[in-house]
């Protein structure tokens, strides 16, 4: 039997979108903050050349699972140039990648630098905001301004069936994106860990998940099993959608995993 080659080339459309993101200068506050962090550096990384630019998404262009985070960390993705990468041992990158590894979406449980061999299968990671914000807090205007980048990237990911939003900002960014193409959610779903939102025919299902920030993981608000359950649920929903042969299967009262909020799905309707 011949050897099967893994195809890792990024499609031209996605490469173009990434190029546009990296060159964006629409938010002077965020661009100058990222550049300043890149000049001043953290002692542990003083020999590194920081990326210090907007950070595009990363992963499998044929992904059925899309993960939407908040924004690059100042000494993480703003340093390495890859989302959820390099924010220290046991940081959010490792926490996320470990869950993705256990559920079969990542080939390794860590995410330390761009050439560390990390490969995602059937999953793609993006962020609501592509530049590192001071105190991890972008302004509403900066979030709004960055949304077209997420829209452009998603347009290049035609197979996405399930979106896992990490934190409330990613969750509401996705709802905004849906609203921008006519999907109005009533009542507007509240973010919660394990909440599943059905946004209607042809729309990916949206799952809320606490962000794997150190604040959440160190306090036990988000545990490794909780995050793993969310990705197991995502996998299950993807498979149900595949086996239904239609847009997606949508049982009306599916509940989130036991350790999460246990709330039923929220339904949405198109305007």
Distances (CA, A) of 83 to 15, 58, 159, 175, 192: 16, 7, 21, 21, 23
Q: For ligand SF4, give the closer residue by CB, 77 or 197.
A: 77
Residue 12's H or E segment, with its range, is helix 12-23
Q: What is the DSSP string of 139-193?
A: -HHHHHHHHHHHHHHHHT-TT--EEEEESHHHHHHHHHHHHHTTEE-SSPPPP-T
Token pair 């490794």 is found at: 224
Stretch that binds ligand SF4, among 41-49, 128-136, 172-180, 210-218 (CB under 6 A): 128-136
3-state secondary structure of 207: strand
26 sits near ligand SF4 (criterion: CB under 6 A): yes
Please report how close the Cβ of residue 143 comes to ligand SF4 at its closest, in angstroms: 8
18 binds ligand SF4 (CB under 6 A): no
Q: Shortest approach of ligand SF4 to residue 167 CB, angstroms?
A: 16
Note whether 77 binds ligand SF4 by CB under 6 A: no
Q: How far apart are CA 125 and CA 120, in angstroms?
A: 9
Q: Which CB sits closer to ligand SF4, 123 or 132? A: 132
Residue 131 makes contact with ligand SF4 by CB under 6 A: yes
- 142 interacts with ligand SF4 by CB under 6 A: yes
Q: Is 74 in the site for ligand SF4 (CB under 6 A)?
A: no
Residue 145 makes contact with ligand SF4 by CB under 6 A: yes
Cα–Cα distances (Å) from 154 to 17, 56, 62, 188, 268, in that order, read 10, 12, 11, 22, 20
Which of 18, 37, 52, 54 touches ligand SF4 by CB under 6 A?
Answer: 54
Q: Can you give the binding site for ligand SF4, defined by CB under 6 A? A: 21, 24-27, 30-31, 54, 129-131, 142, 145-146, 149
């Amino acid at each position: 039997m011949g050897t099967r080659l893994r195809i890792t080339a990024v499609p031209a459309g996605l490469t173009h979108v990434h190029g546009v993101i990296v060159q964006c200068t629409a938010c002077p506050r965020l661009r100058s903050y990222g550049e300043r962090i890149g000049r001043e550096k953290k002692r542990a990384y003083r020999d590194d050349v920081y990326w210090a630019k907007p950070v595009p998404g990363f992963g499998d262009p044929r992904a059925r699972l899309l993960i939407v985070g908040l924004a690059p960390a100042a000494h993480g993705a703003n340093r390495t140039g890859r989302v959820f990468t390099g924010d220290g041992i046991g940081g959010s990158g490792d926490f996320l990648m470990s869950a993705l590894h256990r559920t079969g979406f990542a080939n390794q449980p860590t995410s330390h630098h761009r050439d560390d061999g990390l490969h995602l299968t059937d999953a793609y990671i993006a962020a609501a905001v592509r530049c590192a914000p001071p105190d991890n807090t972008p302004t509403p205007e900066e979030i709004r301004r960055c949304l077209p980048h997420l829209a452009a990237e998603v347009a290049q990911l035609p197979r996405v069936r399930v979106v896992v939003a990490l934190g409330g900002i990613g969750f509401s960014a996705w709802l905004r994106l849906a609203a921008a193409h006519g999907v109005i959610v009533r009542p507007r779903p509240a973010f919660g860990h394990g909440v599943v939102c059905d946004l209607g025919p042809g729309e990916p299902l949206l799952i809320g998940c606490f962000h794997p920030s150190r604040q959440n993981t160190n306090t036990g608000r988000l545990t490794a099993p909780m995050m793993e359950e969310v990705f197991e649920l995502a996998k299950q929903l993807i498979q149900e959608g595949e086996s239904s042969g239609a847009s997606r299967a949508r049982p009306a009262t599916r509940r989130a995993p036991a350790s999460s909020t246990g709330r039923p799905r929220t339904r949405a309707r198109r305007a």
